[in-house]
Structure 1
Amino acid sequence: MIPADWKVHQLAELSGSIASGRSKVDAEFGQFPVFGSTGVIGYTNTPSHTGESILVARVGANAGLLNSADGRYGVTDNTIAIRLKPGTDHTYCLLQLKRYGLNRLIFGSGQPLITGTQLKSIPIPIPAREEQVKIVTALSEMEDLISSLDQLIAKKRDIQQATMQQLLSGQLRLPGFSGAWDIKPMRALGTTYGGLAGKTKINFGQGEARYIPFMNVMTDTVIDASWLEPVDVAPDEAQNLAKKGDLFFNGSSETPQEVGFCSVLLEEIPNLYLNSFCFGFRFNTAAKVNGLFFAYWFRSKAGRAAMSILAQGATRYNIAKSAFMQLEIPQPLEEEQTAIATVLSDMSAELVALEARRDKARQLKQGMVQELLTGRIRLP
């Protein structure tokens, strides 16, 4: 149901024309853009269109993709240009078409296709022009917020990466720290152990024990307890427990660049095990180290390069634990390790908070689209 003062029009009633373009790309660096199914695909010196158009990819894998154009430009024959009559806001109509979802119109098994005839019958709820503009403005402001958060997140991530490279290499020292770093092989710091062994599909998804999934190790610098999954492990089984402070690595992958991603467990979680595709590393009790520092180092540019070199294979790459144990790691005293890890952890927490805010804004915008474009919520 739409408000009583809204009207539903077929797109054909709102449009002056709905037709495929006929432009060809005739200049590599022409004065006017030529739009194809995915956007600007070239240029021309003889534009075929002037003013605003809604563009719809007509054929192929991108059929149904929506775009818009304004000014002077060309449109190719695999794209339909919708030219609206005065009285309907182009952006408002574009939003309604996105809400409608043109994928439902696609037909043809060999070559996906949408026709202008199909587009003409699409129902578009239309309020007064003033309300159309208010709706577009509200949604544009929300999109601007999301875009600004995306830009801020990208900037913060770049700063974190630069800070990580400098702090973890000793190029940048935090206040109060000086002196040369030690270089020690991993064998001098602890020992490795394997993940779950002898398990089959029926052992997973049930049981009192939990295990760390492969993707938790690949994705997170710190093991996320919310990702842990159940596994059935008998009390008398000879399996290796995962403990607080342990490091975890994926020991194999299809490319050398994806081998040896590292995560650290910072919580004491009873009856916890590691998936069979990864291996663990436990520091000696006498080792004065900060596990989070090491997890960040192994995810830094230097750490990734070191692990990639260790990867051996042809179709699948593996790291031999013996070679891993020979790997030499530059490291400051434990106090400086902790200070560095704290700085990087705080930066990570800030990024997580910004991403959560961005994701919430996206959800809010999606809800606004549904409510505003159906008139369930009216703007003052």
Structure 2
Amino acid sequence: GKVPILLPPLPEQKKIAQILSTWDQAITATERLLENSQQRKKGLMQLLLTGKKRLPGFEGEWETRKLKELCAIKTGKKDVNEGNPDGKYPFFTCASEPTGSDEYSYDCEALLIAGNGIIGKTHYFKGKFEAYQRTYILSDFSNAVSVSYLHQFILYWLMRDIDREKQHGAMPYIKLGLLQRFNVFVPSIEEQQRIAMVLSYADQEIDGLEFKLNLLKQEKKALMQQLLTGKRRVNVETEAA
């Protein structure tokens, strides 16, 4: 009841609402496009990472290999409070995005899987980095597997396993044995690379839409700060902001 409301003339109120509504419509439309793109990629993963649909020019049976046969699996060494957000090197923890570290313990190509927190969140990185002690590091990959293919395979199949376990209340964190026993479907290296390329194009489309959506939200926020405070006035007569 004590909140002060800034009230410009009614025509100006309507114009401000109209301008912000235009941004809302653009945000909603982009959210819909993003959701459609994510669903398309999910459908592609379901077909291509199971062998239900083969890309042109490929045939033959796929092997099934244990993850531990395709790479080394270990955990990080650092406690999460040893990081520095302004550090030079990425520090992979169990959060959605890496933070920073002043030091690094690893210098390699790796897939990094959150063992708790945002369970199963997987990043690809090549170079110097640090890792939290509950983050799994996959490295030293076999010549039988494409790292980009394995990344996509883990994103789809490991998350399915985790989601299924969560529904039974049995997945507070990932145990090493689950990763060691994790089955990977392995076509020829050429087919793996082609599958990864197709899914990478889908990722690029999703990333582009996510960038556009964040930009629209920032623009609307900036407009609200200007228009709902009176710092910027709208010209009602010419209907131009």
Shorter-normalised TM range: 0.7 to 0.9
Change (3 A) 1:347 1:330: same
CA distance in 1, matches of 2:182, 2:175: 11
Aligned to 1:160: 41
Aligned match of 2:8: 126
Q: Is the 8 A contact 2:71 2:139 kept in 1?
A: yes
**Cα displacement (A) at 1:149:** 0.9
Q: Deviations over 1:180-237 (max 9, x none)?
A: 211111232222223125x684x43299873532146xx37xxxxxx4511446xxxx
Q: Which residue of 1 aligns with 2:143?
A: 287
Question: What is the one-letter code of the residue matched to 1:287?
Answer: N
Partner AA of 2:137 in structure 1: G
Partner residue, 1:274: 131
Change (3 A) 1:132 1:174: same
Distance in 1 between the 2:181 and 2:5 partners?
68
Partner AA of 2:83 in structure 1: F
* 2:34 and 2:206 in contact (8 A); partners too: yes
Amino acid at match of 2:131: L
Over residues 285-334 of structure 1, what are the superposed CA-to-partner deviations in whole Å (9 max), with x where a residue is unaligned?
Answer: x523211211221121x3324456899x979444134x532332112111
2:50 is aligned, of 154, 161, 169, to 169
Structure 2 residue 211 is matched with structure 1 residue 356: yes
Sort the Cα spacing of 1:189 and 1:314 in 2 relative to 1 into closer, same or farther, 3 A. closer
Aligned to 2:31: 150
Q: Retained in 2: the 8 A contact 1:187–1:325? A: yes
Equivalent AA in structure 1 for residue 24 of structure 2:
E
Cα distance in 1 between the residues matched to 2:41 and 2:25? 24
Match of 1:181 in 2: 62
**Local SS of the residue matching 2:143:** coil
Match for residue 193 of structure 1 among 61, 74, 84: 74
Residues 204, 123 of structure 1: CA spacing in aligned structure 2 closer, same or farther, 3 A cutoff? closer
**RMSD of aligned Cα (Å):** 3.2
Distance of aligned partners of 1:209 and 1:364 in 2 relative to their CA distance in 1, 3 Å threshold: closer
1:156 positional shift: 1.2
Q: Is the Cα contact below 8 Å between 1:194 and 1:279 reproduced in 2?
A: yes
Alignment of 1:63-78 (within 5 A): none
- In structure 2, the partner of 1:105 is none
Aligned to 2:22: 141
Gaps of 5+ in 1: 1-113, 221-226, 234-238
Distance change in 2, residues 1:208/1:363 (3 Å): closer
**Contact map agreement 1:310 1:324 (CA 8 A) in 2:** no
* Conserved? CA contact 2:87–2:100, under 8 Å: no
Instruction: Please say if residues 310 and 319 of structure 1, whose CA atoms lie closer than 8 Å, have aligned partners that are also in contact.
Output: no
2:94–2:116 contact (8 Å) kept in structure 1: no
1:308–1:283: structure 2 CA closer, same or farther, 3 Å change rule? farther
Shift of 1:153: 1.1
CA distance in 2 between counterparts of 1:361 and 1:351 reads: 15
CA distance in 2, matches of 1:304, 1:188: 20
Q: 1:150 to 1:204 in 2, by over 3 A?
A: closer
Identity level (%): 21
**In structure 1, how many angstroms separate the alpha carbons of the residues matched to 2:170 and 2:46?**
30
CA distance in 2, matches of 1:346, 1:375: 43
Provide the rounded CA distance (Å) in 2 between the counterparts of 1:200 and 1:162: 36
More strand by share: 1
Letter paired with 1:263: H
Look up the SS of the partner of 1:125 in the other structure: coil
Distance 1:361 1:232, change over 3 A: closer
Secondary structure of the residue aligned to 2:201 is helix
Larger radius of gyration, structure 1 or 2? 1
* Match runs of 1:172-251 below 5 Å: 172-196=53-77, 201=81, 203-205=82-84, 210-215=89-94, 219=96, 227-232=98-103, 241-244=106-109, 246-251=110-115
After TM superposition, the score normalised by the length of structure 1 is 0.53
Seen in structure 2, the aligned counterparts of structure 1 residues 182 and 363 have a Cα distance that, compared at 3 Å, is: same
* Gap change, CA 1:173 and 1:361, over 3 Å in 2: same
CA distance in 1, matches of 2:43, 2:231: 47
Letter in 1 for 2:8: I
Gaps of 5+ in 2: none
TM-score, normalised to structure 2, is 0.80
